[in-house]
Structure 1
Amino acid sequence: MSIYGAIRSPRAIYFGAGQRHALPAIVAGLGSRVLLCSDERFNQDPMLGAIRDGLEGAGLRTELYDGTIAELPLACIAEAAAKARDFGPDVIVGIGGGSCLDLAKLVALTLTHGDELSEFYGEFKVPGPVLPVVAVPTTAGTGSEVTPVAVLADPVRISKVGISSPYLIPEVAVCDPELTSTCPPGLTAVAGADALTHAIEAFTAIKHPTDPGRALQQVFIGKNTQSDAQARIAIAALAGNLAAAVADGGNASAREQVMYGALCAGQAFGVAGTAAAHAIQYPVGALTKTAHGLGVAVLMPYVMDFNRSACGPEFAEIARLFGITQGEEAELADAAIEAVAELFATLGIPRTLAELGVPVERLDWVAEQSLLSARLVNNNPRPLDLAAMQQIVQAAHAGDRDRLRRH
């Protein structure tokens, strides 16, 4: 592959234990009136409360919205935006998991460009810069602290919808792995599995011709040199440390590596995009009300088996990043899929869509709805049509990956 790529990133990323203590100086450089977007955990965690104290101690005015709801229904966004309007912030700090960070982006968008978010659904619909956002993740999964994406739940739509624009990339990301120390094992597992699927799907996304201007016309440009570099770092960090972080939440080194892996995975897919596992998860999540990270992790081994014929070299490299070095390339490619499946099983991720609660009679509906995510479908390295989607969801429901290897 010739060298081709794009980098879209916050103006600054500060990573490392204790970096949260730099927030007063960082935020003061952007404004003096600070809206904090978080959830109900904010007032229960002394580390988060200390962040607000530090901001106010630096002379900044703060207002807290702590009503973030997972998957971000429109009513939650409207409530937060109304509170923001009354306060009049000039900078927004998102503190929490992916939904808190996405909420900060969407409130910044609403205050700058209007309440009708449906006008911005899709790619490159945001007309210009938004209020500056500082993203402070407390989980290691979505990578929202560095991505151009915010996902929400519109009651008119069956599945979640996304707004994708470089203008939504936070101004600054502050990634302090100490903030994940209270993250429970189940959430650590699901968030980390989400990050690994981001990295794998970015690394194996379709390769497009290196057309000048592609990155000016598409937010997600497929597999490229820059995203590959970030994806490799992410896969290695997560493969080597996620299980340890889940087994022992006090393992500071593992926590650090998992957060770094999630960050790099976000930078990878924020340019390359994701593919079939994410496309299928949207209707699965809508049907079962299960967590996004859980759904994509269940689907990932099946999608990898389906894509095996189109991604042999990439899968072999994934195996090596997992520490598997013995075997021919074809054997390594197979080993990569098994390694991902085994890691997820170790984390307690269900093996099938049936275990997530998908009824067998809704499988064709899931396949049909998956195809509506055209951006994700078109980014898959192997072409997807209805028959292909049906193969994947049927195999994932039955727990029969062999049927995908026969096609």
Structure 2
Amino acid sequence: MTLFAAIRLPQEILFGKGQRHALPKVAARLGKRALICTDERFSGTAVFADIVASLRAASIEILVYDAVQPDVPQETVSVCVDNVREFKPDMVIGIGGGSCLDMAKCAALLLSHGGRLQDYYGEFKVPGPILPVIAVPTTAGTGSEVTPVAVISDSERTLKVGISSPYLIATTAICDPELTMTCPSGLTAIAGADALTHAIEAYTAARRGADHELAQNHVFIGKSALTDHFALLAIKLLGRSLEKACKDGSDEDARADVMMGALAAGCAFGTAGTAAAHAVQYPAGALTHTAHGLGVATMMPYVMNYNRSVSAIEMAEIGSALGLDSSGIDIEIQARATIEEIRRLFAAIGITPTLADLGLPADKLDWTAEQAFGIDRLIKNNPRPFDLDAMKRLVKAAYDGDLAASAI
């Protein structure tokens, strides 16, 4: 095999307790006027007030947009941009969960290039650099602080849509685990399970070759030596600490592991991409109005079992990263044990075990499979190919809770 690797990351990643206090100096290097995108809840906290005061003390003029909504309805981006355009920011700072970071990316995009957000749906539609974005996550899950993707919801479409471009990668990511300490257990579980799913799908993604045109024509290009490194780091950290963080939110070491795990998973899938678990979640999530992380985690064991026949070695390596004993054990047995450990971990933190429990209507199974099968950028990343019948069987297995049937 020819060694191949590719990675796209921010210019600077700062991680650790108290790193939010570096924000004023980081911002001062980018200009004197900053738009902050956050939500109403976080904008009312003492921590946010301290962040704003520190920026102003550094002679940075601030305009706060604190009306970010979950899943970023596309029309709200236009409202934000219309309200702040005359301010003429030098940078956009996203502080909050993944939606706040995605809003910051989208606002920076429209402030830089104009037009409608719909003009940029898909891959490589952003024509050039955007205003610098500083991403400061307060949850540990989406990895948006390091990825080239912004996901938004469009009322004219059933499914959420994405804008994918290397130009959307934040200039700086500042990841301070202290900002996640008050994250509720349920949100910690869903976000962390999302991150673990990112890492597993990136590590088991199809290997798509070393063509020099690959990374120039596609944002997600499959697994490589560098994405594998980040994916295994994420799996190790999340495997040892996600359950702990959900049980005891005051455990600083567990919180740090989970945030680093989410960051590393973002570093992995931001280039490698995700696959079938995400493809099914898009239509399933649209129908059930459930959290993205919950849906992808519900699908993950079934997708792993579907892929096991072609990815047993990778799954055994995932098991080792999770701390499972691999000495003298057959690869196939290790792969099965890995899937069972993922099922156990997800059950322990309250992840819904089936699509039926997620609320997917039984009469929408075929529609869900058809929509998932049509998301080519994800399906082509899956290590085991799909036809429509195979996708229908997978969705039915995940609805019934029949793990064995998902491998057929």
| TM-score under structure 2 length normalisation | 0.98
The 1-side partners of 2:404 and 2:395 are apart by 13
The 2-side partners of 1:268 and 1:237 are apart by 14
What's 2:315 paired with? 315
What's 1:52 paired with? 52
What's 2:301 paired with? 301
> Contact (CA 8 Å) 2:148, 2:270: kept in 1 or not?
yes
- When the two structures are aligned, how many residues end up with a matched partner? 406
Q: Which moved more, 1:68-77 or 1:289-298?
A: 68-77
The 1-side partners of 2:62 and 2:307 are apart by 48
What's 2:39 paired with? 39
The 2-side partners of 1:224 and 1:201 are apart by 13
Task: Letter of the 2:238 partner, please give it.
Answer: L
> How many angstroms does 1:353 deviate by?
0.6
What's 2:333 paired with? 331
1:341 aligns with 2:343: yes
> How many angstroms does 1:378 deviate by?
0.7
> How many angstroms does 1:86 deviate by?
3.0
1:66 aligns with 2:70: no
> How many angstroms does 1:371 deviate by?
1.7
The 1-side partners of 2:48 and 2:347 are apart by 32
Secondary structure of residue in 2 paired with 1:93: strand
The 2-side partners of 1:115 and 1:105 are apart by 15
Task: Letter of the 2:48 partner, please give it.
Answer: L
> Contact (CA 8 Å) 2:130, 2:167: kept in 1 or not?
yes
Task: Letter of the 1:390 partner, please give it.
Answer: K
What's 1:368 paired with? 370
> How many angstroms does 1:329 deviate by?
1.0
The 2-side partners of 1:232 and 1:184 are apart by 26
What's 1:380 paired with? 382
Gaps of 5+ in 2: none
The 1-side partners of 2:176 and 2:338 are apart by 30
The 2-side partners of 1:55 and 1:33 are apart by 10
What's 2:268 paired with? 268
Residue identity over aligned pairs, in percent, reads 55
Counterparts of residues 195-234 of structure 1 (less than 5 Å): 195-234=195-234
RMSD: 0.9
> Contact (CA 8 Å) 2:398, 2:406: kept in 1 or not?
no
Secondary structure of residue in 2 paired with 1:311: helix
Secondary structure of residue in 2 paired with 1:62: strand
What's 2:289 paired with? 289
> How many angstroms does 1:117 deviate by?
1.6
Task: Letter of the 2:295 partner, please give it.
Answer: G
> Contact (CA 8 Å) 1:42, 1:49: kept in 2 or not?
no
Task: Letter of the 2:388 partner, please give it.
Answer: L
Counterparts of residues 4-403 of structure 1 (less than 5 Å): 4-326=4-326, 327-403=329-405
> How many angstroms does 1:362 deviate by?
0.5
Secondary structure of residue in 1 paired with 2:40: coil
The 2-side partners of 1:48 and 1:398 are apart by 45
The 1-side partners of 2:259 and 2:271 are apart by 19
> How many angstroms does 1:41 deviate by?
1.5
**1:53-98 deviation digits (Å, cap 9, x = unpaired):** 1001111100111111111111211111112213221110000000
Secondary structure of residue in 2 paired with 1:394: helix
Q: Which moved more, 1:204-213 or 1:41-50?
A: 41-50
**1:387-407 deviation digits (Å, cap 9, x = unpaired):** 1111111011111111123x1
The 2-side partners of 1:72 and 1:280 are apart by 20
> Contact (CA 8 Å) 2:198, 2:265: kept in 1 or not?
yes
Task: Letter of the 2:262 partner, please give it.
Answer: A
The 2-side partners of 1:82 and 1:116 are apart by 12
The 1-side partners of 2:190 and 2:38 are apart by 20
The 2-side partners of 1:377 and 1:2 are apart by 24
The 2-side partners of 1:288 and 1:153 are apart by 14
**1:316-375 deviation digits (Å, cap 9, x = unpaired):** 001111111242211110011111111000000110111111011100010011122110
Task: Letter of the 1:395 partner, please give it.
Answer: A
Task: Letter of the 1:196 partner, please give it.
Answer: L
> How many angstroms does 1:43 deviate by?
2.8
Gaps of 5+ in 1: none
